Structure 1
Amino acid sequence: MKSFYISLIALFLTAGAVQAQEFSYGIMGGLNVSKVNNALGGEFSDNKINYHVGLIAEFPQGDKWSFEAAAFYSGEGERLESDGAEQTVYLRFINVPVHFKYYITEGFSVHAGPQVGFLLNAKQSFVEDGDREEIEGKVNSSFALTGGLGYDFGNGLFIKGTFDLGITDLFDNVDFSNDERTRTGHLSLGYKF
């Protein structure tokens, strides 16, 4: 139920932004570096490399401010060693971030905001057999805080770097010390029409 309310808030933020007179839309894609981390700590050394691709729209609210909303497929997860065996966790999301964007100078911007991630599937594999098995007890969606930097080149091309910090547990459990949350860095290249 919590995920429903979070999604509803994101929808209202996007709907408010759509009322802007001008907007641009486009496509983007790029590289992900991700990890599934315990809330109480962990390192980024077991990161997994993957990709993302999707759609983006920007709704100017003045000379310096704008709203930016996106919907994109994102491959996430991690590689780790467990009981002497290498294990890989594969997570596939449709992420929907809504960013508040501020242009520091012409073209250069900072952005931050909430993101809802809808989990398509969660699998894991072990080196011994390499088969991917469904992870039991996964939740359907996650919520993250996001922020980053971007540069618009003025001809439609843009580049942006964003870091997502998951704040909801990916798997059903009652022990807070076992909460697993995503940490993902995105490096995106795109084009706005």
Structure 2
Amino acid sequence: MKKHYLFVISFLIFNASIWAQEVRLGVKAGLNVSNIDNNDPFYDENSNYRTSFHAGLFAEIPLNSKFSFQPELLYSSIGKVDKYDLNYRIFDLEPLGADSFKLVQKRNYLTVPLTFKWYVAERLYINAGPQVSFLLNTVSKAKGDDFPDSYEDAYKASGEFKLDYGAVLGVGFFINDDINIGLQYYRGLKDLFGDSDFDIIDRKAYHSVFQLTVAYSIF
């Protein structure tokens, strides 16, 4: 009986060592082009894409010759840029001297994509899966020509850790055994106004992010 146990344990250790050798661990970083889609025509028509970055770690775990599972841990900065063509005024109704201004909204997240990769060719793959994100901080800044410096920092908040979730769909290509490039789209499914106290306003907003990534397998 002891021999059987030793055989089973040896078999599991042997297979675990093979599995560990096949797991691909690495780092990745790239470009974010993000916006926030909403159903309010005023905010939607003034909303523009914001360019930023993402960076972090990944592990690719093979399931068979065609499929693998890839969990990731990334820092990702997204948001949007609102442009307004108007004469913005302070509370005493005196004009600020700026006929237009931009409101840059930065939302920095710790993201956890959990995607599955399907190798449609030797080096070409399609990836898809869910993603959960935790809001680390937000920064909103108003900028414009002749805009007073005292109005540059409109809003800052940190430690919010609010949850966002959505789905990822993308495609990628291995340049060689260690480096691959990927293009993917993230669509948020969590209403960003869901945590607001203004439930009487029928507004919904969701993250929309295009990502261009370079990944490098360390081992």
Q: Which residue of 1 aligns with 2:137?
A: 121
- AA at the equivalent of 2:164: S
Cα offsets for 1:30-68 (capped at 9, x unmatched) = 111000121577469600000111001101111111111
TM-score, structure 2 normalization = 0.72
Kept in 2: contact 1:89–1:122 (CA 8 A) = yes
Give unmatched runs, 5+ long, in structure 1: 1-17
Change (3 A) 1:39 1:70: farther
Change (3 A) 1:58 1:39: farther
Q: Which residue of 1 aligns with 2:77?
A: 75
| C-alpha RMSD of the superposition | 2.5
TM-score, structure 1 normalization = 0.81
The 2-side partners of 1:141 and 1:97 are apart by: 13
Kept in 2: contact 1:95–1:118 (CA 8 A) = yes
Cα offsets for 1:158-193 (capped at 9, x unmatched) = 111110000102242325732221101110001112
Change (3 A) 1:56 1:90: same
The 1-side partners of 2:201 and 2:108 are apart by: 23
Q: Which residue of 1 aligns with 2:28?
A: 28
Q: How many corresponding residue pairs?
A: 174
- Structure of higher CA gyration radius: 2
Correspondences of 1:1-193 after superposition (within 5 Å) = 21=19, 22-38=22-38, 42=44, 46-82=48-84, 84=86, 85-127=101-143, 128=147, 129-134=151-156, 140-171=162-193, 172-173=195-196, 174-175=199-200, 177-192=202-217, 193=219
- AA at the equivalent of 1:186: Q
The 1-side partners of 2:178 and 2:105 are apart by: 36
Cα offsets for 1:125-163 (capped at 9, x unmatched) = 112322141369x77110011110011233201111110
Kept in 1: contact 2:46–2:84 (CA 8 A) = no
The 1-side partners of 2:172 and 2:200 are apart by: 38
| % identical aligned pairs | 29
